[in-house]
Amino acid sequence: MSRRQVDPSPEILQQALVTHLEERIHIRDRRILDAFRTVPRHRFVTHVSIEEAYRDRAIATKQLDSGIAISSASQPAMMAMMLEQLDLQPGHRVLEIGAGTGYNAALMAHLVGANGHVVTMDYDEDIVLDARQHLAANGIENVEVIRADGGLGCPHSAPFDRIILTVGAWDIAPAWREQLAAHGRLVLPLSVGGPQLAVAFQAQDGHLMSQSAYYCEFMRLRGAHAGPERLGPLGSKKGFLIGNEAALPVPDDTIYDWLKGPSQECSAGMQIALRDIRLSLWFWLGMYETGHVRIYAAGQKAKHRRIPDLLSASVPGHVLRGTSGLVNADGICLLSRSDDEANPFSLRLRSYGRAEALTQRLLARLQAWDAAGRPPGDRLEITVYPRDAVIDVPEGAVVMPKRWHQLVLRWP
């Protein structure tokens, strides 16, 4: 007689997630592990199975009609790492931009204790209502959920010992600096020329200094304080998507026509791994080249390999395959590969349009990156000053101007 299989209980799955965070992610703060052990995630993501709730992955919670997600429950490992960066202490007052399901606010409420207070805010009324309901249903009382543009912060509850964003930001809004207590800490996914770093900033005299950073990928901040970056359709026709920060030098449809036309390839003269591109090269190109873009193909364009297939992404109903490179007024040059399976592989460059000079420019950037030791993005030291501040730029540093601030970036 066969035994009936018994599904694991929520408690067993929850403990398995905690063990994963401890052993695989190496979370050192035992209080954070205790928070994950205490706060039941499945009660905040009730639209998925209990098994799905305790997997170490993000869960989309709100989507546009196009299928693009605009709100999610963040990946637990990323949440734990950012909470460790935040360094919450009992009694702290915390502001969270991006309420989501309320789960992260619940974890923070556990960490700051009964004498602490968490304010979490979101742009959408339905998200705010759901977060309130989840927190109330779990008996969490030291969290206030408000609907507002996160870029404005929450002045009536300031100052805050800690501020955290669970959405990607292109710049640091003035309100966040103004509402951060002296020597407070700000943790946010910050765009560095396209790719993001989850950076912990410590407030110092007149500026912010990075303390730690991790590679991350978060949905972008919406509203009046959103940045110029985009990931959307390339032109008026279907098939290609583009991700860029700076204004493009030519119309979208021109780039579309280039990609449908003839191309040329050449060797870059180096071996490279996929992780080198995502964790290092993207940051190098984003720092030094305003023409750095990501290009993806969807549908039949992806099947027919109209562009190099180095990087993959997915949205409901679509598999996106693509790469990154440089664009100027004459053409576009993209990273390519010699073998579809090997990793590492021999890096190649594929160009479209009249991109001979651009190809040489990208080759020079690649050679400089390789000579510098292929530094990882998460080792960047970042100092943030007001946009109008007069600063002494250290040798070898790069100044990246933003809307309200300027970032001074350097590898140690």
Residue type (1 letter), 300: Q
Q: Which residues contact 159 (CB under 8 A, 6 or more apart)?
A: 93, 179, 180, 181, 182, 184
210 annotated active-site: no
DSSP secondary structure string for all residues of 95-133: EEE--TTSHHHHHHHHHH-TT-EEEEEES-HHHHHHHHH
Rounded to 5°, angle at Cα 45 from 311 and 315: 25
Range 350-357 contact pairs with CB under 8 angstroms and sequence separation of 24 or more: 350/263, 350/264, 350/265, 350/307, 350/308, 351/263, 351/264, 351/265, 351/266, 352/258, 352/259, 352/261, 352/262, 352/263, 353/258, 353/261, 354/330, 355/264, 355/328, 355/330, 355/331, 357/330
Which of 2, 66, 71, 191 is the catalytic position? Answer: 71
Radius of gyration, CA atoms only, the chain: 22
Active site residues: 71
